[in-house]
């Protein structure tokens, strides 16, 4: 905890003064371009990975980068997605999974979560991903962790399309949806290429063009 407290002091003394104009502007509102949905895992830092600053990303985090399908039941993810898309007007949505994901390990072995009933229920939103992988291989094991991680991103992309605000913006091409997987050890970011129906390195999908302008 000491390093957290000292970090705040360093921010106030060194970082904030250098960026005072930015924070003065942000004090009166926000205008993020991207809704970034990722895992709550402590090893994931969206701003660090994307080299963005305050105000650039509207970030939603939870175990497993999950987007529950839209229902009439209001939840934190549903409200945040609606606000980002309908009120803030983001033009891109990224759902980003990551390597060595504990949530995906739990999804692969739900019986191991009996002492974590809320986690087990939450990860029920990943069942489509595990069922797809099981159908392909005939079984489920830790060997398929990377495959389940990628499939889970695809399934959450399907889920977010059921949210009315997102569906409307996708239909009118005001929003683009992206599926990413971040590799912690290598620093690589894999992006889903819809034409190839496969995850490829970010640079191969976007080809160095401005964000969202695919080849």
Q: Which residues are annotated as a binding site?
A: 39, 41, 98, 101
Those residues whose C-beta lies under 8 Å from the C-beta of residue 41, and which sit 6 or more positions away, are: 98, 101, 102, 103
pLDDT in tens, 134-146: 999 998 888 999 9
Comparing C-alpha atoms, which of 197, 127, 120, 123 is closest to residue 155? 127
- The CATH 3.40.1050.10 domain(s) of the chain lie at 33-206
pLDDT in tens, 26-40: 999 999 999 999 999
Question: Confidence class of residue 121 from pLDDT cuts 50, 70 and 90?
Answer: very high
Comparing C-alpha atoms, which of 157, 153, 111, 151 is closest to residue 134? 151
193 class by beta-carbon count within 10 Å (0-12 exposed, 13-18 middle, 19+ buried): middle
Kindly tell me if the per-residue pLDDT of 180 is higher than 90.
yes
Helix 145-160 / helix 127-137 crossing angle, nearest 10 deg: 130
* Mean pLDDT, residues 148-164: 98
* Mean pLDDT, residues 157-186: 98
Question: Confidence class of residue 209 from pLDDT cuts 50, 70 and 90?
Answer: low
- Return the pLDDT at 214: 43
Question: Confidence class of residue 208 from pLDDT cuts 50, 70 and 90?
Answer: low
Question: Confidence class of residue 207 from pLDDT cuts 50, 70 and 90?
Answer: confident
As a whole number of angstroms, the distance between CA 191 and CA 209 comes to 14
* Mean pLDDT, residues 143-167: 98
Any idea how long the chain is? Answer: 215
Question: Confidence class of residue 210 from pLDDT cuts 50, 70 and 90?
Answer: low
Q: Which residues are annotated as a binding site for Zn(2+)?
A: 39, 41, 98, 101
pLDDT in tens, 71-81: 988 999 999 99
Those residues whose C-beta lies under 8 Å from the C-beta of residue 190, and which sit 6 or more positions away, are: 150, 180, 181, 182, 183, 199, 200, 201, 202
Q: Which residues partner with 57 through β-bridges?
A: 34
Kindly report the average pLDDT of the chain as a whole number: 94
pLDDT in tens, 79-112: 999 999 999 999 999 999 999 999 999 999 999 9
* Mean pLDDT, residues 168-184: 98
- Return the pLDDT at 215: 37
178, 116 contact by CB (below 8 A): no
Question: Confidence class of residue 125 from pLDDT cuts 50, 70 and 90?
Answer: very high
170 class by beta-carbon count within 10 Å (0-12 exposed, 13-18 middle, 19+ buried): middle
CATH architecture assignment, domain 33-206: 3-Layer(aba) Sandwich (3.40)
As a whole number of angstroms, the distance between CA 180 and CA 56 comes to 18
């Amino acid at each position: 905890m000491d390093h957290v407290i000292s970090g705040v002091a360093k921010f106030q003394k060194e970082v904030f003064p250098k960026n005072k104009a930015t924070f003065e502007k942000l004090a009166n509102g926000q205008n993020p371009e991207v809704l970034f949905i990722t895992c709550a895992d402590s090893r994931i830092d969206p701003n660090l990975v994307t080299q963005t600053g305050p105000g650039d990303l509207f970030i939603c985090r939870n175990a497993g980068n999950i987007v529950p399908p839209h229902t009439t039941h209001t939840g934190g993810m549903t409200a945040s997605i609606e606000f980002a898309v309908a009120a803030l007007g983001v033009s891109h949505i990224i759902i980003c999974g990551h390597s060595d994901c504990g949530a995906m390990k739990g999804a692969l072995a739900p019986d191991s979560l009996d002492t974590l009933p809320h986690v087990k229920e939450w990860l029920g939103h990943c069942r489509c991903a595990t069922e797809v992988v099981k159908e392909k291989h005939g079984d489920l094991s830790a060997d398929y962790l990377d495959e389940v991680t990628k499939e889970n991103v695809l399934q959450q992309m399907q889920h977010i399309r059921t949210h009315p605000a997102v569906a409307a913006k996708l239909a009118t091409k005001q929003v683009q949806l992206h599926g990413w997987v971040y590799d912690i050890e290598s620093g690589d970011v894999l992006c889903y290429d819809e034409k190839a129906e496969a995850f490829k390195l970010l640079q191969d999908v976007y080809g160095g063009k401005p964000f969202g302008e695919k080849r």
